[in-house]
Structure 1
Amino acid sequence: MTEERQNAGEGGKSGQLKIFFGYAAGVGKTYAMLQAALTAEERGMDVVIGSIAPYRSLEDTALAERLRAMERLEEFDLDRAIRRKPDLIIMDDLACENPKGSRHSRRYQDIRELLKAGISVYTTVSAQNIESLNDIVTAITRVPVKDRIPDSVFDHADQVELVDLEPRELLERLRNGALAEKEGEHPPGTAYFTVANLTALREVALRRCADRINMLTRGDGAAHGDEHVLVCLSASPSNAKIVRTAARMANAFRGAFTALFVKTPDLAYMDEEDRKRLQSHMRLAEQLGARIEILYSDDIPFQIAEFARISGVSKIVIGRSAATRDHIFSKPALTEKLISNAPDLDVYIIPDADPGSSFYRKRHFGTRRHLVFSAGDILKSIGILLAASCIGFFFYNLGVNEANIITIYVLGVLVTALVTKNQIYSLISSAVSVLVFNFLFTEPRYTLQAYAPGYPLTFSVMFLSAFITGSLVMRLKSHAKQSAEVAFRTRILFDTNRLLQQARGQEEITSVSAGQLVKLLKKDIVVYPAENGVLGEPQIFQAGETEPDAGCISAREREVAVWTLKNNKHAGATTDTFSDAGCLYLAIRVGENVYGVLGIVMEGGELDAMENSILLSVLGEWAFALENEKSTREKEEAAVLAKNEQLRANLLRAISHDLRTPLTSISGNASNLLAMGQDFDEETRKQLYTDIYENSMWLINLVENLLSITRLVEGRLNLNITEDLVDDVVAEALRHVNKKSAEHTIVTESGEEFLLARMDPRLIVQVIINIVNNAIEYTPAGSHITIRSEKKDGTIILSIADDGPGIPDQEKPRVFDMFYSGGNPIADSRRNCGIGLSLCRSIIDAHGGELTVSDNAPHGAVFTFTLPAGEVQLHE
């Protein structure tokens, strides 16, 4: 139980489970448990009683008074106990079955939740309640035990205290009535009490405790050598005993444990009772730690031997009924064939005398298939027989030999086997074909007599030939059906893997996975996505045309889904938790991370082992896809966050340096003018005013660029596209360029008188201002700046050229990078934060154009960008 309590209560601390273990009722388990609980209470622990058996042995002691003072949870309620959350809770009888309507069907499942919630538990259990010991105890006492717990609960308990008592002393207590609820009554389950039985049970309990100590000493995962125990599963009533024996053997050898079921064509004819029994045997094997394997074959011994050889099995465990022949003329027993196919294996034959075993063998191996007649198959068989007779008449009239006509009837039997569903039709058709051939084509004709002495042999060969070919065809059909089923389920897995690799986003991953499961199971399913431990709204995926039952998403069903999410375990229909639910709920998980809950509407019985295996595989693929999608999304978000952090850092650098410098200049010049304005001559004052103005305009331009960059990063740069004259936009931009433009010669040239472009004029003005200001800053006074526009192939091309020092080739790829300021010594580096050209490219890209830089002849740089051309609208 340790692994099941990894996600415990607050702080990850789980409760401790202590089991008081005895070989039989009355040895004093409950008394020892309560004494230990009172001791714990004296040490300051918060102890409450959850459940306790009312035996007179407790009432007759001084312990009763102390117990009455202890808090008791009347009519134990699991949720109330978890909310109360004591340090220790007393839960007598670990193997007890819960009342109908409880969340869990068994008490040990309640205890699992208490432990996970961080509540320690004291409980009791007897040897007869341990699953793997059930057969041994039943053989000793001759009393079947219904209430049992998995061995893992016992083995993984934090403490097991053996409560022992001499058998004779126990019998004396029984005779004195110390164990009865009422005077004069014997307690339930004590009818087998004899010295011999109790001594044998005591030995079993001691050995089981020793096995647990050995397991803890060696370590739970330590396996001895290469031992691998294989048990063969079947629907036989005695198979449960075989599984338990194999489990004990695997534990004793500390080896691997596998349960194998070979699926044959006969499985299609298995009735519902046997199917349920087979499923229960598979669950039992899984509960006892076996890995379930399912194979398809007609030859069971060969398949078992091959699997054992490939998987490294060292020991095979089967029942005695499979090792014996029914009579001298029957086929060799499974064990004989198994030893013949795998002579190096150790085969253990376990006695499995069971009242139902002989009946099962007669029913399933005497008459292997149920005779199911249908009008359609009968008509098909009659039609084929009539057709064969007509063809026979045709060839008979042509003088064809009777031996050839026989083959027509054999062919008819073969076709009958192909088109009908049961072998009985081909069998009957074989017999009838012999009679019809005798009646129609042998002398004397139209009688069932035959003159030729060789005809009886001919009829016998004809019947055997028809029967054997019909049987082979039916077998081939069964194999083809099994192969198709396996191929379909394999394709489901491959398709799921392929589709999930192509899926993008949680919704598409969920849709693909749910669709594949609907295709596999032919059942409606409900998917609850989970985010931060909270279930989202359910999504229903239908298997048919009819609307799904609204009950599958009711409040009760959602409660089960929430429990599955919280506990990361199966729940709902066909399980022992919320077994009254309409759906089977499974967590879509990777390890302890749950990404959602899947609900399968369970109409028509539970899933078979192969469906369950593929379902778990698809769920694993589904969860991995969601985890990968989450990881990818988190990486993208981290990259965006890192980029934004870098942008924020650069903006802070711009604010801290590029804004502070002109602000300092403005404040300093203004302070000088205020303090000594009258002392300055006219030229000095004019220079101070000019500096203030230029720094202010530079700040305005920088703030505009910063605001535009912010809108771009946040995706809020909305374009207001209109058709405007390029010359007007250029003229508007030149009115707002740097005042130093007076030191340069700026010329505009246009290829046509009226050039219309589709653009947001406000943003294009900002682009031209940034590029022209860049040219002014990076070229010496007296330089020429030329703005040229032209139309070519439906595109407006606008270029801004200067004859300055130009841009080195190694810097051209980086001039449009944000916050790149280059190394030109002419520019005032204090006034360049490197966002202007980056903003320009972003604006032009948003317009569907392109911004490039190239060299001007003989020297200088040319910035060129394109815009979509507009069309002149003519109005009548």
Structure 2
Amino acid sequence: MQDARANPDELLKAIQKEHTNRYAGHLKIFFGYAAGVGKTYAMLKAAHAAKRRGMDVVVGYVEQHSRPETTALLRHLEILPVCKVAHQGIEIAEFDVSGALKRNPQLILVDELAHTNIENNRHKKRYQDIQELLRAGIDVYTTVNVQHIESLNDMVAAVTGIEVQERIPDSIFDDADQVELVDIEPADLIVRLREGKIYRENRIDSALHNFFTVQNLTALREIALRRCADRMNRLSESIRVQHNDQYFTDEHILVCLSSSPSNAKIIRTAARMAKAFHGGFTALYVETSKSTSMSAENQKRLCENTRLAEQLGASLETTYGDDIPFQIAEYAKLSGVSKIVVGRSNTRSHKLFPATALTDKLTSYVPNMDIYIIPDKMTENQHHWGTGEKTEKPPLRLSDSIITVSLLIVTSIISLLFYSFGVGENNIITVYLLGVLITAIVTSRQFYSILFAALSVLTFNYLFTAPRFTLEVYDSSDLFTFLIMFLAACISSNLAIRLKKQARQSTRNAYRTQVLFDTSQLLQCAENVQEIITVTTRQMAQLLGRTVVFYGVEGAQLTAPVIFPVGTEEQCLYSNANEEAVAAWVYKNNKRAGATTETLSSAACLYLAVRDRENVYGVVGIVMRHHPLEISEDSIVLSILGQCALTLASKQAALEKEKAALLAKNEQMRANLLRMISHDLRTPLTSISGNAAILLENGDTLIENKRKRLYADIYDDSLWLISLTENLLSVTKLKDGTMSIQLKPEIMDDVISEALEHIQRKRTVHTITVKPAEDIVLVKMDARLMVQVIVNIVDNAVKYTQKGAHIFISTRLENKKAIVEIADDGPGISDIDKPHVFDMFYTTGAKAADSRRGLGLGLALCKSIIEAHHGAISVENNKPQGALFRITLPAEEVTLHE
């Protein structure tokens, strides 16, 4: 049985869409097939119904068209002020997206989804305004007609004969949460038009004869109904994907990008095919050696076609090579393409040298693949293999002319020298052929190599063909020699030029690949965020030859820009308030904006988000100077930004992991501390409260000795609690770095004496012997902390040795080190426990003499304090028995003053 599994890409898209819709506003489109069907009226009726349900409803922009029904429905709704924009001497009202965001209603009405905004507006298209409202969590009602959907533009133009300029991407329509078809019979719509309910009287006759015919309206209505049905099919498929129903996608549609005016039609056709077959959709651009010299007009058209393919859901790919059909075929074979969509080539063939059309060559390369050829009526820009790329030839230059003439003179002189040595004419021809090759390599246009070939034939005839030093030809066979020589020269120059272009293109591609590889290596070696930003900006500036601006993110805000200038450009041009506002918009909306885009296009830079899916780690600005990025440059830039985002994400994940580990460690410490304190504090507190209760109830009747013993027990338990509290406080301060250590030169023996003052009562049950140093041992220390170290170690010895045991404290100076040893003759410490006695919360299995178990903080605190003094502490066996703790500290020089 075949395993039915959901397509993983479709499933991922469905999950991401569900995640996005959870936080974004909802879009409802009132859809019609022509003006006047009642879309705005239906939208206003729905708005009133929503208002009655208690929703906060406002009108952002509604076109009334002087219709009384529309005006009546607007009376009881809040209408936001519009922007008044002056355009060509006329004041035009535009939707104010900033005011709508500031008002922040639950539902806003914005008419005419496909409207194009006035220049220098925030966005070029109104649907982009609506997208920003949706991202802000505001629900939107809007209207649109069928002729404004991008993929249907050609189909509608074929029906009506009118090409609509205002269009929306299909994704806006398909991803809408609701689409309500507002339908009316074509005959009834024509009646409404004649009654003046759609257009004014002066436009009625023109509309009836041009657009509003029964044939046009019926066809548009059918297209609208089919489009709604297609949308319902896609919704059903999306539901099947989410429920893991059977779903198979075997089709992969490939469309070829070019600068041809008709390429947009080909892209739309391929997009409709991809949707119909439920397959993948890829747009391929073949970059040739002539792409760099493409005219500005064709560059602009290529960018528009690329943006159109991206809007229609295509993934963009680029290959390199002058044999366009071969590159398309190879990509199709390697990428699992099932169908190729191209335009029909109308290249005019020469009578003597007929040209093979792109489609014919493509068919020969992939004979078993489906190739769909879309008719192309626009032939004025078709030049080579149907790509529509009309390139700008470099101008004739005086320097190239001088080089050509100089090479001809040098070649002729060399030929004359060879001729004087008896070299035959056939060999001299090869010298001129060599000159042709050199000319083709060192000059900028093929014109010079052809000119050199023609001049070399004339020169050869003049210098070496009888009669010499004339242009006359006596032997008719010389004419064939001249013809073959000229053809050989032309062919050789053509091959040399092609090799030069291919070498230049290969070098360019290798350079880009090397930059991308170096970027990956450098980002892996970057140690912090600042280094990652520096590497990214430097590599992008090196790749593009443009100034690059990088905005980092800190605390959900963009940081100050890091600018990597190219040349002597003024940095203030790219770090002003306007540019920063565009970068902030990109960070907030996670979309590109700025120059060469349809959003805030007046900016000097193109701004791209450094993102990993929904997370934005920074914003990069690339100075455009009115020259858009090439397709290959754009793809490499996106690759670099993707690598940067992954590196920043890994750094952020590492920091979060480190914080989580520290938090877990602190939580573990807290748990251990609470567990041990709750257990070990119970005994002394119970003893204190019990002894105090006895004294309160029977204090007068107790004999003196018994009463003093109770007081002594309370005092001992209190001292133990005080010591424990001091250790806890000191450990906490050392761990979080809040303890200030005051280092001053102190005499070690004086510190030991002060420490023993704190444990005088222990002398009654233990014998403490102090052996001072023979010389003065001066150590730079914090005396208060060092006293605590001595007290903790001595208390530890008192606690784990029997009554009457001996404790020895000695000090000496050895190799400029102060060494303090504290030894006892108790049971000692086992070899298993020695490596862990300085660990926090570690306690040995030995039984304390006073039956109190420690928390395992004292020796851990001693180690922390000694290491803070740049010293060391260790434990070993005392001879013949017991334990010996050795403290080693750097000693200070003793200076004697007379």
Whether these two folds match at TM > 0.5 is: yes
1:135 maps to a residue whose letter is D
Mapped partners of 2:251, 2:225: distance in 1: 25
Counterpart contact for 1:572–1:580, Cα < 8 Å:
yes
Alignment of 1:204-603 (within 5 A): 204-219=223-238, 225-321=249-345, 325=349, 327=351, 329-354=353-378, 356-357=380-381, 370-449=393-472, 454-532=477-555, 534-603=556-625
Residue 647 of structure 1 deviates from its aligned partner by 3.5
SS at match of 2:260: coil
Residue 548 of structure 1 deviates from its aligned partner by 3.5
- In structure 1, the gaps of 5 or more residues are none
1:195 to 214, 222, 232: 214
| Alpha-carbon distance change, 457 to 758 in structure 1, aligned in 2, over 3 angstroms | farther
* 2:73 is equivalent to residue 52 of structure 1: no
Mapped partners of 1:365, 1:552: distance in 2: 36
Counterpart contact for 2:295–2:392, Cα < 8 Å:
no
Mapped partners of 1:448, 1:811: distance in 2: 111
Mapped partners of 1:858, 1:366: distance in 2: 97
| Alpha-carbon distance change, 253 to 845 in structure 1, aligned in 2, over 3 angstroms | same
2:60 maps to a residue whose letter is G
2:498 maps to a residue whose letter is R
Aligned to 2:149: 130
SS at match of 1:851: strand
1:107 to 126, 136, 148: 126
Mapped partners of 1:238, 1:400: distance in 2: 58
| Alpha-carbon distance change, 588 to 357 in structure 1, aligned in 2, over 3 angstroms | same
* 2:834 is equivalent to residue 812 of structure 1: yes
Range with bigger deviation, 695-704 or 602-611 = 695-704
Output one character per residue of 1:415-455: Cα deviation in whole Å (capped at 9) or x when no partner. 33333333333332333333334434444443334566654
Residue 168 of structure 1 deviates from its aligned partner by 4.2
Residue 535 of structure 1 deviates from its aligned partner by 1.8
* 2:161 is equivalent to residue 147 of structure 1: no
Mapped partners of 2:292, 2:378: distance in 1: 25
Aligned to 1:26: 36
Range with bigger deviation, 277-286 or 320-329 = 320-329
Counterpart contact for 2:593–2:608, Cα < 8 Å:
yes
Mapped partners of 2:176, 2:209: distance in 1: 27
Mapped partners of 1:33, 1:670: distance in 2: 83
Residue 489 of structure 1 deviates from its aligned partner by 2.5
* 2:110 is equivalent to residue 98 of structure 1: no
Residue 2 of structure 1 deviates from its aligned partner by 9.5
2:80 to 59, 70, 73: 73
Output one character per residue of 1:198-236: Cα deviation in whole Å (capped at 9) or x when no partner. 333333333323322332233387976522211111111
Counterpart contact for 1:242–1:350, Cα < 8 Å:
yes
| Alpha-carbon distance change, 177 to 696 in structure 1, aligned in 2, over 3 angstroms | closer
Mapped partners of 1:829, 1:339: distance in 2: 95
Mapped partners of 1:814, 1:823: distance in 2: 12
1:615 maps to a residue whose letter is V
Counterpart contact for 1:526–1:538, Cα < 8 Å:
no
1:801 maps to a residue whose letter is A
1:629 to 651, 669, 675: 651
SS at match of 2:892: coil
Residue 375 of structure 1 deviates from its aligned partner by 3.5
Mapped partners of 1:189, 1:433: distance in 2: 70
Mapped partners of 2:678, 2:438: distance in 1: 92
SS at match of 1:787: strand
| Alpha-carbon distance change, 811 to 415 in structure 1, aligned in 2, over 3 angstroms | same
How many residue pairs get matched?
869
Mapped partners of 2:112, 2:149: distance in 1: 12
Range with bigger deviation, 629-638 or 780-789 = 780-789
Range with bigger deviation, 833-842 or 677-686 = 677-686
Counterpart contact for 2:582–2:594, Cα < 8 Å:
yes
Counterpart contact for 1:301–1:338, Cα < 8 Å:
yes
- TM-score normalized by structure 2? 0.88
Residue 749 of structure 1 deviates from its aligned partner by 4.8
Residue 96 of structure 1 deviates from its aligned partner by 1.6
| Alpha-carbon distance change, 394 to 739 in structure 1, aligned in 2, over 3 angstroms | farther
Question: How big is the alpha-carbon RMSD for the aligned residues of Structure 1 and Structure 2?
Answer: 3.4
Counterpart contact for 1:323–1:335, Cα < 8 Å:
no
Residue 790 of structure 1 deviates from its aligned partner by 4.2
Aligned to 1:179: 198
SS at match of 1:579: coil
Mapped partners of 2:260, 2:536: distance in 1: 36
Range with bigger deviation, 506-515 or 164-173 = 164-173
Counterpart contact for 1:238–1:357, Cα < 8 Å:
no
| Alpha-carbon distance change, 769 to 122 in structure 1, aligned in 2, over 3 angstroms | closer
Residue 104 of structure 1 deviates from its aligned partner by 1.9
Mapped partners of 1:42, 1:364: distance in 2: 57
Counterpart contact for 1:806–1:856, Cα < 8 Å:
yes
Residue 79 of structure 1 deviates from its aligned partner by 2.9
SS at match of 1:303: helix
Range with bigger deviation, 249-258 or 379-388 = 379-388
| Alpha-carbon distance change, 377 to 750 in structure 1, aligned in 2, over 3 angstroms | farther
Residue 98 of structure 1 deviates from its aligned partner by 2.1
SS at match of 2:586: helix
Output one character per residue of 1:345-396: Cα deviation in whole Å (capped at 9) or x when no partner. 11111112137445x6799989866142233333433443343334334434
2:454 maps to a residue whose letter is A
Residue 142 of structure 1 deviates from its aligned partner by 2.0
Output one character per residue of 1:712-749: Cα deviation in whole Å (capped at 9) or x when no partner. 11213444444444444434433434532344444445
- TM-score normalized by structure 1? 0.90
Aligned to 2:10: none
Mapped partners of 2:389, 2:251: distance in 1: 36
SS at match of 1:862: strand
1:389 maps to a residue whose letter is S
Residue 299 of structure 1 deviates from its aligned partner by 0.9
SS at match of 1:741: helix
| Alpha-carbon distance change, 4 to 630 in structure 1, aligned in 2, over 3 angstroms | closer
Range with bigger deviation, 134-143 or 279-288 = 134-143
Range with bigger deviation, 278-287 or 786-795 = 786-795
Aligned to 1:783: 805
Mapped partners of 1:30, 1:689: distance in 2: 92
Equivalent pairs: percent with the same residue?
51
Aligned to 1:714: 736
Range with bigger deviation, 612-621 or 117-126 = 117-126
Output one character per residue of 1:734-766: Cα deviation in whole Å (capped at 9) or x when no partner. 343453234444444578534444444443333
Counterpart contact for 1:259–1:290, Cα < 8 Å:
yes
Residue 170 of structure 1 deviates from its aligned partner by 3.7
Mapped partners of 1:26, 1:653: distance in 2: 77
SS at match of 2:273: helix
Mapped partners of 1:768, 1:453: distance in 2: 119
